[in-house]
Amino acid sequence: MTITPQQLVAEAKAQIRETDVAGAAKLLNEGVLCLDVREPAEYEAGSLPGAINLPRGVVEFRIGEHPAFADKSRPVVVYCKTGGRSALAVLNLQRIGFTSLVSMSGGVEAWGQQGLPLVKDTTRYGG
């Protein structure tokens, strides 16, 4: 049976934790790690403050190389442009042992619509 990309994301979202922008902002203010799974050019155009960039295409392969993610139980907010890629990333990262992940629904677009700050940072860690 073939499914659409939207169905794939919906299935992922049914198996993960999600939070809205307000919930993500609260977690980030508490010091929770922030993972941006967008492509490098998207990240460089504007990201959440303190976000670490590991693009969706390599996140499962490269996350173990970053010391901030050594503890797989450490809480992490994961985001992308609108929430689809982050949902898929969270599902796969859960499958490889990460236990405290949350995807930010609406992604960076929703963050920006709330008037929250974005930073331009080219000192990313990524793929």
Overall average pLDDT of the 111-125 stretch: 83
pTM: 0.94
Please tell me the distance from the alpha carbon of residue 108 to that of residue 110, in angstroms, as a whole number: 5
Residues whose CB is less than 8 angstroms from the CB of residue 108 and which lie 6 or more positions away in sequence, other chains included: 36, 38, 42, 46, 47, 48, 79, 80, 81, 118
> Is residue 124 a part of any domain in this protein?
no
Q: Does 100 fall in a domain?
A: yes
34 is catalytic: no
Please identify which residue in the block is written with the tokens 């930010």. Answer: 104
Does residue 66 fall inside a structural domain? Answer: yes
Is 91 inside a domain boundary? yes
Looking at the domain assignment, is residue 93 inside a domain? yes
- Nearest to 37, CA basis, from 115, 96, 112, 91: 91
Is 107 a member of any domain?
A: yes
Closest to 33 measured CA to CA, from 98, 67, 78: 78
**Position 78 in a domain:** yes
Q: Which of 77, 78, 80, 90 is catalytic?
A: 80
Are 56 and 50 in contact by the 8 Å Cβ rule? The answer is no
Q: In the predicted model, is pLDDT for residue 11 greater than 60?
A: yes
Mean pLDDT of the chain: 95
Question: How confident is the model over 20-55, as pLDDT tens digits?
Answer: 999 999 999 999 999 999 999 999 999 999 999 999
For the chain, what is the domain count? 1
CB 88 within 8 A of CB 8: yes
Give pLDDT, residue 126.
Answer: 52
CATH number of the CATH domain containing 51: 3.40.250.10
pLDDT digits (tens, 9 = 90+) for 94-107: 999 999 999 999 99
Is 83 part of any domain? yes
Containing structural domain, residue 89: 5-113
